[in-house]
Amino acid sequence: MRIRNLLPAVAAVAIVTGPAFAQDVPAENPAPPAPAADATASASLTAEQQSQYDTWPPAQQAQYDAWPADTQTYFWSLTGDRQELFWRLADSDKVALAGLPLEQQDQVWAQIESQAAATPAAPAGEPDVEDDAVSDGPM
């Protein structure tokens, strides 16, 4: 799946909206450090979410635990199909997408879903690479 091709679109939306989210914060008052994500992850999950989380492989759990709390919350707000596509994005794109206003999220999701529909999924266990070197006979 070539979801990584959407990086420029997500980055462009994030760059355009970035100044809108900027805040003037005095240097004397730094933000307090965020609590450890894995400590809050299990505490904030519903029973259904926790059971889904428990079925994930440890690497996927660790990836989820590394996300900021708002990205984790955003993940659970997605439909099952969008959750599957969300996993295919780079973590930086996940964080950027979760931080966008709702209307821009809808625009990005339209692009992601369009790209996913246009690109056939590679069978499990096989790399997503085209091999033009293989032919059925001499040329």
pLDDT of residue 49: 94
Whether 71 contacts 98, CB under 8 Å: yes
pLDDT for res 32: 47
Give backbone dihedrals phi and psi of 119, rounded to 5 degrees, phi first: -110, 115
Residue 3 has pLDDT above 80, yes or no: no
Give the model's pLDDT for residue 5.
58
What is the rounded average pLDDT of the residues 90-94?
Answer: 93
Span 55-83, pLDDT tens digits: 999 999 999 999 999 999 999 999 999 99
Token pair belonging to 56: 């994930």
In the chain, domain spans: 52-118
Per-residue pLDDT of 112-133, as tens digits, reads: 999 988 877 655 544 444 444 4
Name the pTM for this structure.
0.58
- Are 1 and 116 in contact by the 8 Å Cβ rule? The answer is yes
Angle among Cα 70, 110, 16 to the nearest 5 degrees reads 60
